[in-house]
Structure 1
């Protein structure tokens, strides 16, 4: 029997915020993710999104390691099955009340949880949410820049809840993986990205993925505006 049988789309409380239609609007998908050394972690997150995995996973890693990508991809996969999912970055959430009612969903993904550690109201709200999700058998994905042991948690019971499930580290891609990401994004945009342009980008831009992808967007925009193919001369003009 399918793990989605009989689930349906539940009625959502009007108080729930930041619930997106991940079936059509997500910026990230599993297919876009280049795993590199993260194949095992990716596989476990994908199982959660198919409702056959762990009830709770904690993913941590450095900036640009792919935490936001895999969390949003899990929500997108759930949405593709017609089930409601929520992705929230707690670094951007204004009030712990945004966690109210999320147990009515089919998947909850909370990013940047380190941003609210040490804040009593947030810690209590997160502790209560984890308990409600476990009671309702709703899977939970958590992400932070450090493992649970590195969080500045004040509430001991929350510290234990955060380590309930597997704790997985996402490694930053090496240069070969970053080149693969660049080519995949270029292909999605219908761009031809010559090898010499890729080499130029790595030589003249910071090697973090955000900088490289921003450079790719600049090239795409310049190519359309100037009605020119993406070549090394154009890259030199646009990216310096």
Structure 2
């Protein structure tokens, strides 16, 4: 292997790093990976089969191009696996071949396979992530209604309800559902003109068209669509001209029966400075919410993500991550990727001991202690109250209900004593806090509906929003 010559390997590594970027190169081509040239082959020495599969599946083209730039020849790609018999990242599941370049012998043909043409407006050198699919969306009580609504929208193309509005906090699956709907609509209607993007892209396109005096082309693109999918629609808030333009586009498409799917970070009624005209249009369809997943759903999500990566993660590790990381699906996925990378780079077996070590900082920062003032701030922010008013002696419903919820959350998440909570929220005694806790638990048990806040149907919805703010 010519790669023993330091100058050849150094030049190859530099060429590969230029194509991947320092971050990805450092993660996947560290000290455990060697590069060299032998005859007509670029040889990649890797510590285990997982490394081989990952590099082969994600970076083969980059490696071939780098080798050609260094040697002036087109080389085939081969792998040398140091620990082929017993991968040390857990039991690896052999992934199904994604294309003709993956061979059982670990060799990639010289000529790269034809690539799917890049989408318009996408830089040629950007590797597009394939769209997520509805069938890959892991469901549970937190998101089952939203997933069912997405499937119904695909099957009826808006005949059952239109628009479909999906709202949730960050990292709970809104974009996954939008991409899944788009993919399924295209599969069912190959000739469909689907316009899919973000509210920011709509805004920028509208402003550019106004500056260029080309509004006709802009409007034609959106208003002649067979389906419209817009993410982060809350971005339109406070932009009156853009909201008016979107409203006219919305009305034109609805009049033609064109399905419209949008996503936002909160209920349309809770989006500050969104015009009543747009808010009522959104409410004219179906509005569904994604909640933070429960422990069993978090575990199912982690198992699905691990399977997609080709790694068999022990249940003890799955349950450990699911128990300690609760805020979002994105957080779970990030922790899993970090843990797998840690196992690969250190050559250690993926087990509970490694998970506790690798994710120690992540879990510590995520599960930071919640204090009484944190609860106070969250409640005041959601109900648009100041702290003095919340703690006042007033017993009007608009103040007593938020105060009781604050006491309930303080007892649930801070570990403070009843007496301490009572003193904090207006100098009340411990029996008042106990009564408030029992009252809120009764609301939850009876699924009490609430008109306290627009956009929230039940007390449970309000408490879920507060707990997301607290990160619990």
User: What are the superposed Cα offsets for residues 54-84 of structure 1, whole Å, 9 maximum, x if unpaired?
Assistant: 2311122233332222111101111223234
Looking at structure 1, the residues matched to 225 and 347 of structure 2 have their Cα atoms a distance apart, in angstroms, of 46
Looking at structure 2, the residues matched to 70 and 163 of structure 1 have their Cα atoms a distance apart, in angstroms, of 19
Looking at structure 2, the residues matched to 25 and 112 of structure 1 have their Cα atoms a distance apart, in angstroms, of 19
Establish whether residue 29 from structure 1 lines up as the match of residue 149 from structure 2: no
CA contact (8 A) 1:103 1:138 kept: no
> Equivalent residue for 2:153?
48
CA contact (8 A) 2:171 2:331 kept: no
Question: How high is the TM-score relative to the length of structure 2?
Answer: 0.42
User: What are the superposed Cα offsets for residues 86-122 of structure 1, whole Å, 9 maximum, x if unpaired?
Assistant: 3323256651528742233332111221122121122
Choose from 149, 153, 156 the match for 2:269: 149
CA contact (8 A) 1:75 1:87 kept: yes
Choose from 205, 215, 222 the match for 1:102: 222
> Gapped runs of 5+ residues in structure 1?
1-15, 19-23
Count of aligned residue pairs for this structure pair: 220
Choose from 145, 155, 161 the match for 2:281: 161
Query: Displacement, 1:156?
Result: 3.7
Looking at structure 2, the residues matched to 175 and 149 of structure 1 have their Cα atoms a distance apart, in angstroms, of 29
Flag the 1:41–1:236 CA change in 2: closer, same or farther, 3 A: closer
Equivalent residue runs for 1:1-80 within 5 Å = 26-37=130-141, 38-50=143-155, 51=157, 52-80=159-187
Query: Displacement, 1:203?
Result: 5.5
Q: How large is the RMSD of aligned CA atoms in angstroms?
A: 2.8
Asked which structure has the greater RCO (Cα within 8 Å, sep 6+), the reply is 1
Looking at structure 1, the residues matched to 244 and 275 of structure 2 have their Cα atoms a distance apart, in angstroms, of 8
Deviates more, 1:155-164 or 1:137-146: 155-164
- Higher helix fraction (1 or 2): 2
Query: Displacement, 1:229?
Result: 4.2
Looking at structure 2, the residues matched to 94 and 156 of structure 1 have their Cα atoms a distance apart, in angstroms, of 19
Flag the 1:70–1:119 CA change in 2: closer, same or farther, 3 A: same
Question: How high is the TM-score relative to the length of structure 1?
Answer: 0.78
Flag the 1:85–1:220 CA change in 2: closer, same or farther, 3 A: farther
Choose from 133, 152, 157 the match for 2:253: 133
